[in-house]
Structure formats: C-alpha cells, structure tokens
C-alpha cells in the first residue's frame, strides 16, 4: 500500500503478513474476545457461582465459534462500539453481551460477562495468547530455518581452510565451516531458551486481590480459580500483582529476542566482510541492478537490509524491556500504547530473518580467493611454530618468531628456510613444511 505510514504495511507487507493474524488490531480484539468467552465458561463451571449455571456443550461450542469465525466484519462492529464507549475492552464486552442474546438461555446471564474483571485482566491474557501464537507458528519456525541454513553451510565448508582475522589483521588458519558453526551454536542456545519461554498471566481484578468478587462470592477460592484459569490459557499465573501484569515476561522476551538479533547482526556483518574480501561471490539474478550508475556492482544488500532491520527491531525490544516493567503505583496507562508496537518489533525481526536467508542463499564460495589469502600470509603459521618450539624446550621461542614475522612481509620461501634452521627434530620440521 503506497500510502502506508510504516514500511511493514507498505513496501514489506508481503514479507510480514504471517504476523497479521497475531498482532493486528483485529487479532487483538479477537484475543480479548477469546479471554472474555473462556472466562465466562470458567465462571459457569465454578459451583460456587450459583447464579450462572454450568454451560451446556452446545452453548460452549456456540461461544467458541464466535472466536473461530471472528473476522473483519466483527472487528469493525467492535470498533464502532468503541467509538461510543471510548474504551476498547468495554467495547468487546458489549459486543459479547449482544452475541449472548442469540444463544439459547444465555441472554439472561449477560451480566456475568466481564464479571469482576478489570481491563488489564483481559488485555494481558490476550497479549499472552497473541505472543504465544506468533512465537509458535511464525517466529520459531523462521529462526529454525535460519539455523538450518547455518548448519548446512557449516557442514558443507567444514574442511575449507581460510585466513582468520583478529583486530582486522591476519591471525591464524581457521575453517570456514567452524566460523559458521560458531553462529549456529550461539543461535541454538538462545532458541532453546525461547522454546521454553512462557508468558505470564495476571488475573484478580482492579488491584490484583479479587476484592470485588470476594464480596459477591466469599466462599469461592478465587486465587485457586484464577491460577487454574490462567493455566488453561497456556500462561504462567502471577501470584501477587497490582492492577497490571508487571510485564517482566515481556521484558524477558524482549531481552531474549534482542540477544538473538544481536547474534544475527554479528553474522550479517561478518558475511558482509567475507563478501568484501572476496571469500564469497553472490549469485546474480537476471534483470537485477546493483547500482544506478556502476553496472558491475553486486552489492550485499540482503545482509545490509538484515543489519538495518535487526537494529530497528532491537531498538523497540530494548524500549519494551526498559519501559514496560515500570508503572506508577498500582497502575498507569503508559504501557498500553507501547504494547501496541510489539507486532512492529516482531515485524522488523521477521523481515530481517527473511533478508538474511535470502543473502545466505546467494553465497558462492570463491575457493581461489580463499587459497590466495592463505598463500599471501604464511606468517600466520608463527603461532603454531612457536608453540612447537616450546614443546621441545627451545628457549625464547616466542621472541624468535616475533623477530622473524612481526610487521614483516614473509614469503613462503623465507618461511621454509626459517623452519629448516630451527632446533627441532627432523620429523617435526617435515610436518611443518608439509603443512604450508
């Protein structure tokens, strides 16, 4: 959409459309409706709430179908109600009350919709459902795909020796496969934590102590009821809260995704540098243009796009982690407008993963350049040689190699000659010479 304010809804809409069913306004309304309906059903199942009888199976199905069939038309109806109420959660309540009138014998029980709840009881549980759904069906599969790409290339290039660089300078030999495996391992560790992550759920009324419902039904074990209800939604119940979920769960998730993004940003920059060094060529797609003025250019734009979008995502996730756990006294509303941007953060995260995979698939190993770099820097064998000298008790081993190599342009021939002068057993010398 050319008039979209955000590129996620315009230029990149197709790349992130999988998240629309989890983080759009319609998705939020639908999740709120689900929480309200499941709470209404749970209230009916509580024997101590005598005025609301246990719902029949057909009644439950009819209510749950409101969630399953919830669409744009329903969302627009809720938004029309909100124009009158100027309250988004209350609009969902009124929408559900209206729907109860069409289900046998439930109209007379409409007062039990949103019974004893505060808006945040519904909101935080709704966000929990939305985030769990997005992680399970979109984010984790996308990360698994990136991890699989890294693992595949690590395996393919596990025997490819290359020049390593520390401080941007030639260091020692390494293997390209190992360097890719480093990122695969780092990513896997964070993915394991993400897999076990669970959102928390706050439930308990205006300030989290069930005060109002305890007056109405003092014999009901409301704390136990609340814990059971939150668990039924797949969330971890909070025991002591103010009016709101303190958002420590969102802070934990934000820090976790931030770490994942930082790892992938690190990889994006390394891939960019390998391309710059000529270690990789990039597959050319017919018809594409690399530069508007330099026809020869094949730019690493996918890794640059990934780096940029990971940065935007992390700026948002960092703000969530810093802002959301702070609320004045029992509640202020500053978290509400911030939470609405969770989908945007995950959108930039997903967009970056898409760019990263696109870039990885274009990589073609330039074996000639890999070999040339090693040949251009035979001095990188200095570390191994001085360690071998130490093994055989040769004094001042490090200093010998330092005097010969530091800041020097050493050739293969010079290194061969140097090795032959070393006080080492013949077999050790031969092994060194064969390794060059």
Contact 117, 205 (CB under 8 A): yes
Burial of 86 (0-12, 13-18, 19+ CB in 10 A): exposed
Beta strand pairing call for 169-175 and 161-166: antiparallel
Burial of 402 (0-12, 13-18, 19+ CB in 10 A): middle
Contact 158, 43 (CB under 8 A): no
Choosing from 291, 334, 336, 435, which is the catalytic residue? 291
- Check if 167 is active-site: yes
Using CA atoms, how far residue 8 sits from 31, 110, 134, in Å, is 22, 39, 16
- Check if 291 is active-site: yes
SS3 4: coil
Alpha helices in 53-117 (DSSP H): 57-68, 72-85, 88-100
What kind and span of H or E run contains 161?
strand 161-166
Choosing from 3, 167, 196, 296, which is the catalytic residue? 167
Contact 316, 344 (CB under 8 A): yes
Q: Which residues are tagged catalytic?
A: 167, 291
């Amino acid at each position: 959409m050319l008039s979209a304010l955000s590129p996620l809804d315009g230029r990149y809409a197709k790349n992130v459309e999988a998240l629309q069913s989890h983080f759009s306004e319609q998705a939020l309304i639908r999740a709120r409706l689900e929480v309200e309906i499941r709470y209404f059903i749970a209230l009916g199942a509580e024997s101590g709430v005598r005025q609301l009888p246990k719902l029949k199976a057909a009644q439950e199905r009819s209510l749950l179908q409101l969630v399953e069939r919830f669409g744009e038309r329903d969302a627009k109806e809720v938004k029309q109600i909100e124009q009158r109420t100027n309250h988004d959660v209350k609009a969902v309540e009124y929408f559900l009350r209206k729907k109860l009138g069409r289900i046998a014998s439930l109209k007379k029980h409409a007062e039990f919709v949103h019974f004893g709840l505060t808006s945040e009881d519904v909101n935080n549980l709704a966000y929990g459902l939305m985030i769990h759904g997005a992680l399970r069906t979109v984010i984790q599969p996308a990360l698994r795909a990136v991890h699989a790409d890294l693992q595949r290339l690590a395996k393919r290039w596990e025997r490819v020796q290359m020049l390593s660089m520390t401080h941007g300078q030639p260091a020692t030999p390494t293997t390209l496969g190992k360097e890719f495996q480093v990122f695969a391992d780092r990513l896997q560790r964070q993915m394991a934590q993400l897999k076990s992550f669970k959102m928390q759920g706050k439930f308990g009324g205006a300030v989290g102590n069930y005060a109002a419902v305890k007056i109405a039904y003092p014999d009901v074990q409301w704390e136990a009821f609340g814990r059971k209800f939150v668990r039924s939604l797949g969330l971890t119940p909070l025991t002591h809260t103010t009016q709101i979920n303190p958002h420590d769960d969102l802070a934990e998730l934000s820090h976790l995704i931030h770490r994942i993004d930082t790892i992938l940003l690190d990889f994006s920059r390394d891939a960019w540098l390998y391309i710059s060094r000529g270690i990789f060529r990039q597959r050319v797609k017919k018809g594409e243009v690399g530069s508007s003025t330099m026809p020869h250019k094949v730019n690493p734009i996918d890794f640059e796009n990934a780096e940029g979008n990971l940065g935007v995502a992390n700026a948002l996730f960092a703000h969530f982690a810093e802002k959301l756990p702070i609320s004045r006294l029992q509640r202020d509303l500053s978290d509400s407008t911030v939470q609405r941007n969770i989908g945007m953060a995950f959108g930039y995260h997903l967009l970056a993963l898409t760019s990263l995979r696109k870039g990885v698939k274009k990589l073609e190993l330039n074996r000639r350049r890999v070999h040339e770099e090693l040949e251009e820097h035979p001095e990188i064998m200095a570390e191994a040689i001085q360690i071998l000298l130490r093994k055989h008790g040769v004094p001042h081993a490090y200093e010998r190699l330092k005097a010969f190599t530091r800041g020097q342009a050493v050739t293969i021939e010079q290194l061969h000659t140097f090795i032959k002068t070393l006080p080492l057993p013949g077999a050790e010398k031969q092994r060194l010479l064969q390794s060059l």
